[in-house]
Structure 1
Amino acid sequence: MKNLKILLYLIPVIVILIAGCEKFNNESSGVMPQRELSTNVEQNESTKDAVTKIPSEPLPYTKKTDAVNQQTSGADLKLSERLVVKTGKMTIESDKYDEAEKRISEITNSMGGLIVNSTSSANASGKKQGVITIKVPSKDFDKLVAQVSTVGKVSSQNISSSDVTEEYIDLEARLKTQKELEERLYKLLQDRTTKLSDVLEVEQKLSDVRQKIESTEGRMKFLRNQADYSTLTVSIFEPSLLETSSGGGFFYELGQAFKSGLKGFTKVLASVITILIAIIPVLVLVYIIYRIIKKILKKNKTVK
């Protein structure tokens, strides 16, 4: 009987404990999904943020842009190194041609230049005149002009320059394209599966491309050489008595005028003689007809 009473007291306690455990389990199970959901939401938000940030970091585009910028800056660098071709012409009067020529040669050698052409002759009055073509490094061109001007009296001077930078850069781009095409054709030529007819066609195109490459490289070399070395053409003459524009002197010009006049008179006289010879037969015929008519008229008067 005593044990029954104890059991009756324990049953409500057990029920309460069971109910409390169930409640605790429900609360625990309710909290965990919320945490997991919260964690998932945070992860999704982080992922979403990461996905959103990927396009805003233009790594490949930045590299491409950098490459383009490098090419552009390279072009700007080339443009800053201008290729300018300088040329000049001078006419100098000197009392002694040989000394002037020697002085110009010394000036040229002192600047590391060279005389590429030199011609001279004497006019009718015995005075020498000639032309000297000089090439010097472009950096010394102005200095050359200044020093050559001191050799004699400068009667005329013409200095000009031409910027060939854009043409040179265009040739560089064209050469790069041609070499890329040459490389592709060469690889295609090495393909053993290519047909013989295709091989011949590729070889022909490869030959054409190589000719274009040689032509482009030749033009680039010419422009670079022209820009590196400037050209000055100097004309020298010794003054004659009463020097004229042609450099021959007064008496020489007088003699030339007399010769020219005599030649003109000879031509006129020859023309007159030619005309007379041509009309003499006509004049003879006219004279014969005139004599016949006159004789007939005289005979008629006698009959009357």
Structure 2
Amino acid sequence: MKNIVLALSCLLLIHCNKSGVAEHSVKADLFEVISEDEPISPVAPPNAVSEKLAPDKGYETLSSVSKKTDTLSKKIIKNGDMKIQVGDIKKSQSQVNAILKSNNAYIQKEDFQNTDRSENLNLTVRVPHKNFDVLVNSFSDGVGSVLSKNISSDDMTEEYTDISIKLANKKIYLEKYRDMLKSASTTKDMLEIQEKIRGLEDEMDIAEGRLRFIDDRVNYSTLYISLYKEKVRSSATSKIGFGSRFIDSLTEGWNFFVGFLLGVVSLWPFFLLVPVVIFLWKKWKSRKAKP
């Protein structure tokens, strides 16, 4: 009897262990199913369209662009102006044209002034950056007497790099907005995205225009040249002396008098009004004097 009870106890213990293991196994499997089938809670939509942009990829690209722009060559703009006194404007202009041609330069603007005292030929010259110094030295040596010379250099590298990085960043976000526009579900989102695209495109046009301007000024330096010829008045032609000055003074005095007289004559309507004003004033005064 004792053996039978012991055997039944062993069988009961083994059955309980198997049931526990089976129950634990079922619970584990059920937990795994629940975990796999459990729906993911939806992410709240951003309040603004700009929040939909994923910054991580953009910043990584921007970082790479920044590294590329660090290797940009120096953006140096050279400018200068020279005033040269010459003996013959036409001859000097021919010399200038020959020098410009040999240095692959060209005249952007030309202005000629001829006064009683001097002749002035003002030129705005554009020359390749590498030929700027050679051109300046050529004008200093063979054209005439240099009265003044000013040369300046502006380093635009920092501004150019900054604009390039911002432009690259705007291009990244522009592509993101265009992708968002394709998947926009509401009219409001479409209009908002289109407005941001237009704003980015305008900013990019301005930035690209500034970069083109800097590149143009870097590739071609600007030199302002003034050819100056002073007119010498000889005594035979001008008769500079007391008599000539006296006659000039009389002429200027007469011209001043004529101008003054004409100015007075031009006021004739006011002179016609003076008698009327005096008459009305006397009439008003006589009425006031009567009791």
Q: What TM-score results when the alignment is normalised by the length of structure 1?
A: 0.57
Instruction: Please list every run of 5 or more consecutive structure 1 residues that lacks an aligned counterpart in the other structure.
Output: 1-66, 244-248, 286-304
Partner AA of 2:139 in structure 1 = V
Contact 2:69 2:165 in 1 (8 A): no
**Which residue matches 2:104?**
112
By relative contact order (CA 8 Å, sep 6+), the higher-ranking structure is 2
Aligned mate of 1:187, from 169, 179, 182: 179
Aligned mate of 2:153, from 151, 161, 171: 161
**Which residue matches 1:240?**
231
**Which residue matches 2:208?**
217
Q: 1:266 to 1:173 in 2, by over 3 A?
A: same
Aligned mate of 1:77, from 61, 71, 75: 71
Q: 1:233 to 1:68 in 2, by over 3 A?
A: closer
Q: 1:173 to 1:76 in 2, by over 3 A?
A: closer
Contact 1:241 1:250 in 2 (8 A): no
Show the 5 A alignment for 1:43-62.
none
The answer as to 2:181 corresponding to 1:202 is no
Q: 1:186 to 1:100 in 2, by over 3 A?
A: same
Partner AA of 2:185 in structure 1 = T
Show the 5 A alignment for 1:1-304.
74-78=68-72, 81-124=73-116, 128-149=119-140, 150-191=142-183, 193-241=184-232
Query: How many residue pairs align between the two structures?
Result: 208
RMSD: 3.9
Deviation of the 1:128 alpha carbon? 3.5
- Structure number with greater Rg is 1
Contact 1:133 1:232 in 2 (8 A): yes
Deviation of the 1:77 alpha carbon? 2.7
Contact 1:185 1:206 in 2 (8 A): yes
Point out the structure with the larger helix share.
1
Deviation of the 1:199 alpha carbon? 0.7
- How many angstroms apart in 2 are the aligned matches of 1:160 and 1:259? 49
Per-residue CA deviations over 1:115-168 (Å, capped at 9, x if unaligned) read 11112232236x532111110111111111110122111111111121111100
Instruction: Please list every run of 5 or more consecutive structure 2 residues that lacks an aligned counterpart in the other structure.
Output: 1-60, 279-291
**Which residue matches 1:21?**
none
